[in-house]
Amino acid sequence: MYDHNCTLCELHATCKTVCMEASGEPEWPGMVIGEAPGANEDERGTPFVGRAGRVLDRALVASTNMTPKAVRQRLIVTNAVKCRPPNNSTPTAQQLDACVVYLEKEIETWDPVAILALGNVATITLLGTGGIAALREGEHYLNRKSTTRVFVTFHPAFVLRQGYESDVAEMFKADVAEFVRYVRRRGGR
């Protein structure tokens, strides 16, 4: 599913982990999709293990009463772009186009009933449009033929910048909780 020798865009030349694999097991029929690996993720080869990952973990734990490890083992966690952009810059359209083949394979392989899109890059990649504030409360699907629901929320790095007690953080926690409830009702234990 992954090509660790990928050269479809220039990011392979500047990152440590080429074509980062998703983490987790498909125990729950849900996926969490972010933007791109950061420095910690690139170093460790795993999505969402840095500060933004801890924000995500806090919201997942609050909505499940499980440990971060237990929740992470039940969900697939990945990114739209599989290699770290230099200086954590926003991925370009060319980088997204290069990586979408891997994201599509992940979605096809795990066939989630729901996806939690973290931030504008993931949202645009999945839905073709962005604007978290306008999209986060709507009901969205991958495409007209799909039954995979897409939950839209803020990226944990944005929540971190706003503060974990901010209104943005409260909305983020509520969105994560709604996603978890939806996934658990449809097959997650």
Q: Give, in degrees to the nearest 5, the angle at Cα 60 between 74 and 46.
A: 60
136 falls within a domain: yes
11 falls within a domain: no
- The one-letter code for the residue type at 65 is N
Name the domain count of the chain: 1
| Closest to 123 (Cα-Cα) out of 107, 145, 108, 140 | 140
Q: What is the CATH number of the domain that holds 140?
A: 3.40.470.10
Mean pLDDT of 132-152: 92
pLDDT band at 188 (very low <50, low <70, confident <90, very high): low
Can you tell me the distance from the alpha carbon of 189 to that of 183, in angstroms, rounded to the nearest whole number? Answer: 9
8 falls within a domain: no
74 falls within a domain: yes
123 falls within a domain: yes
As a whole number of Å, the CA-based R_g of the chain is 15
85 falls within a domain: yes
Residue 33: pLDDT over 70? yes
13 falls within a domain: no
Residue 78: phi and psi, rounded to 5, are: -150, -175
pTM exceeds 0.85: yes
| Structure tokens belonging to residue 129 | 């449009």
Residue 169: pLDDT over 80? yes
- Residue 94's domain comprises 24-185
- The one-letter code for the residue type at 109 is T
Confidence (pLDDT) at 189: 57
179 falls within a domain: yes
